[in-house]
Structure 1
Amino acid sequence: MLGITQMDEKKVLKPIDEMLTDPWQVDIQELFEASVNKPDEIKKNLYDPLYTYILQKRQEDIINRPDLII
């Protein structure tokens, strides 16, 4: 992985895995602001799909609730 050691990969991937496991523990407003306001295009390209994924997971959770009546 282009100079990233296994230890560095674990430091990066563990928080992302935790974020993806429980989308309700993520500050979605902070994630949205990062996806919109980051001047670094590479970071923006990471935060935007991450925000979209978390938002979709939350929507799925709400839609799949047994007490939801549409």
Structure 2
Amino acid sequence: MLGVTQMDEKKVLKPIDEMLADPWQVDIQELFEAFVNEPGEIKRNLYDSLDNYILQKRQEDIINRPGFAI
């Protein structure tokens, strides 16, 4: 049973280093669902932090584009 759980997690999320390398390639909905559905507090906090980091990096990319104005 433990092996199945580990395999399911690998299907849901890319390795963290891939997520951090290119935040635009992350399925943000998938990451949010992992956060919402995670029963463990530590993993849920990790997914929440990753979700926030990815969103922040995307926002920074948009704000730093030439011609961006609020």
Give the TM-score normalised by the residue count of structure 2. Answer: 0.71
Larger radius of gyration: 1
CA distance, structure 2, for counterparts of residue 67 and residue 32 of structure 1: 30
In the TM superposition, 1:5-44 aligns within 5 A as: 15-44=15-44
1:38-58 deviations in Å (ceiling 9; x for gaps)? 112221021010111001000
How many correspondences in the alignment? 57
Unaligned runs of 5+ in 1: 1-13
| Residues 20-70 of structure 1: per-residue CA shift (max 9 Å, x gap) | 010000000111121122112221021010111001000000110102122
After TM superposition, what 4+ stretches of structure 1 lie above 6 angstroms from structure 2? none
TM-score by length of structure 1 reads 0.71
Q: Percent identity?
A: 81
